[in-house]
Structure 1
Amino acid sequence: MNDECDFCRIVAGEKSAHVLYEDERTVAVLDQHPAVTGHSLVVPRSHEEEVLTIDEATTTAVFETLRCVADALETALDPDGFSVFHTSGPLVGTVEHAHVHLVPRFADDDVTLSLSRDRLDPDDAAELTARVRDAL
């Protein structure tokens, strides 16, 4: 546990949160600054900084909890869909405890998760594909 981490304090029961679900590896809570009703966060109980670098069992647990909570939110709120995302690194966030956002989506919500898009260049794609396959 990191005593300076709000998520660690929530996991330990030292900080108040609206806990939707918890098990031995994860906790799901309502986001304290929700984009929409039902905006939730799934966090591992252990203090890990990155979703992409936690051990396989914890990664699996995080996404199983995500699915469980999404099913419950589907029943409770009847959303039109969900956005699921996490951010990584200092350019995109200030929370240093791995977490995944689960955001119920509604036709009339003001949530924007847009990315500027471009066309995939076939030569660039072939080069990147080769580099990634080599890394795997």
Structure 2
Amino acid sequence: MDDTCEFCQLVAGEQSAHVLYEDELTIAFLDRNPAVTGHTLVAPRVHEGEVLTNDHPGSAAVFETIRTVARALEAVLEPDGFSVFHTSGSLVGTVDHAHIHLVPRFADDDVTLSLSRTELDSDEAAALTAQVRALL
């Protein structure tokens, strides 16, 4: 536990939250500043900075919790779909405790998650594919 981390304090019961789900490895709670109704944060109970590359069991469990909570949110809110996103490293923002945003989506919401895009370069893609496959 990191005593200065608000998510660690939440896990320890030292901060209040609207907890939708928790188990021995994860916790899911409503975002205090939601983009839409049902905007949920899913985090490992253990303080980690990264869920995608960390080997702690809580990292993998986060994705099962996302499925569990999404099914419940779908039944309650009947959204048109979901957006799920995570950032890490210096892009995390103000909380360095790993977490994933689960955002119910509605046709009339104002949520924007835009990415600037370019056409995939075939040679670069082939080189990257070879490098990654060699490691896997």
The interval holding the TM-score normalised by the smaller chain is over 0.9
Relative to structure 1, is the Cα distance of residues 40 and 4 closer, same or farther in structure 2, using a 3 angstrom cutoff?
same
Map of 2:27 onto structure 1: 27
Map of 1:9 onto structure 2: 9
Superposed counterparts of 1:1-136, under 5 Å: 1-55=1-55, 57-136=57-136
Distance (Å, rounded) in 1 between the aligned partners of 2:74 and 2:35: 17
Distance (Å, rounded) in 2 between the aligned partners of 1:124 and 1:55: 29
**Structure 1: runs of 5+ lacking an equivalent:** none
Give identity over the alignment, percent.
72
Per the TM alignment, residue 124 of structure 1 is displaced from its structure 2 partner at its CA by 1.1
55-64 or 105-114, larger mean C-alpha shift: 55-64
Residues 76-117 of structure 1 show CA distances to partners (whole Å, capped at 9, x for unaligned) of: 100000001111110342311010100000000000001011
100-109 or 54-63, larger mean C-alpha shift: 54-63
Provide the alpha-carbon RMSD of the alignment. 1.2
Q: Is the 8 A contact 2:51 2:60 kept in 1?
A: no
Distance (Å, rounded) in 2 between the aligned partners of 1:48 and 1:84: 19
Relative to structure 1, is the Cα distance of residues 53 and 125 closer, same or farther in structure 2, using a 3 angstrom cutoff?
closer
SS where residue 91 of structure 2 aligns?
A: coil
SS where residue 15 of structure 2 aligns?
A: coil
Distance (Å, rounded) in 2 between the aligned partners of 1:60 and 1:111: 27
SS where residue 116 of structure 1 aligns?
A: coil
Q: What TM-score, normalized by structure 1, do the two folds share?
A: 0.95
Task: Give the paired residue count.
Answer: 136
Distance (Å, rounded) in 2 between the aligned partners of 1:102 and 1:79: 12
Per the TM alignment, residue 59 of structure 1 is displaced from its structure 2 partner at its CA by 2.5
Relative to structure 1, is the Cα distance of residues 53 and 121 closer, same or farther in structure 2, using a 3 angstrom cutoff?
closer
